Amino acid sequence: MSSILNLWKKNLGQVPSSVWDDTSLEALVLADNGLKDISKRLGQLRNLRMLDLGHNQLSTIPETIGEIVGLSDYLYLHDNRLSSLPSSIGRLRKLRYLNISENAFSELPESVCAMSGLIELRVTDNQLTSIPDCIGHLSRLRELHLRNNSLITLPAVISRLSELRQLDLRGNPIQSLPQEIARLPKLEKLDLRWVDSLPSQEWFGALEERGCVIYR
């Protein structure tokens, strides 16, 4: 039996030290507890596969998160006050799902690009103005959710995401998109709803002909 500790919405305010003592934990839910900081002792939980720190008031994540190299299933950091992530988070190369939506990121941390196991990345409702070229390193990514940011374009290296199925760009002030998107062999859904600044692209037709649905 896996060891799961669910402390969702317990009005903790602060994480009890007993939580960090339980190094057998494989899943830890601390969502919606008004937390303003997380102890560096987080790194002691080396057996974690799942960690939920969403819906709190965190402005930083301790560097020691990079010590949980077995974290594989999900990491929820959404709905906090984060504007950066520790560089050590790039060591979490087994992680498949990362949600950093509803924070204060003005740029996608390059450390995220080192998380080569990611299959789904959610960075909605932030203040991103651009996406770094290193996004092309996420070769296993199937879903990229960038809704409600301040993006005006995407880098051409997006074409390296050969496993990408869904690309969500809703609610961005996009003015142009690289035609390399048309080369994504497995793209099934391109969501451009609430994007009024983008004229129709010549390559849209080629995408639709091979079965990709474009929402506008």
3-state SS of 104-169?
Answer: CCCCCCHHHHHCCCCCEEECCCCCCCCCCHHHHHCCCCCEEECCCCCCCCCCHHHHHCCCCCEEEC
pTM above 0.85, yes or no: yes
The tens-digit pLDDT sequence of the chain (216 residues) is 569 999 999 999 999 999 999 999 999 999 999 999 999 999 999 999 999 999 999 999 999 999 999 999 999 999 999 999 999 999 999 999 999 999 999 999 999 999 999 999 999 999 999 999 999 999 999 999 999 999 999 999 999 999 999 999 999 999 999 999 999 999 999 999 999 999 999 999 999 999 999 999
Q: Which helix (H) or strand (E) holds 207?
A: helix 204-209
- Residue 16 tokens, joined: 């009890």
At 167, list the tokens. Answer: 């690309």
* DSSP H or E run through 191: strand 189-191
Domains contained in the chain, CATH given: 1-127 (3.80.10.10), 135-144+154-216 (3.80.10.10)
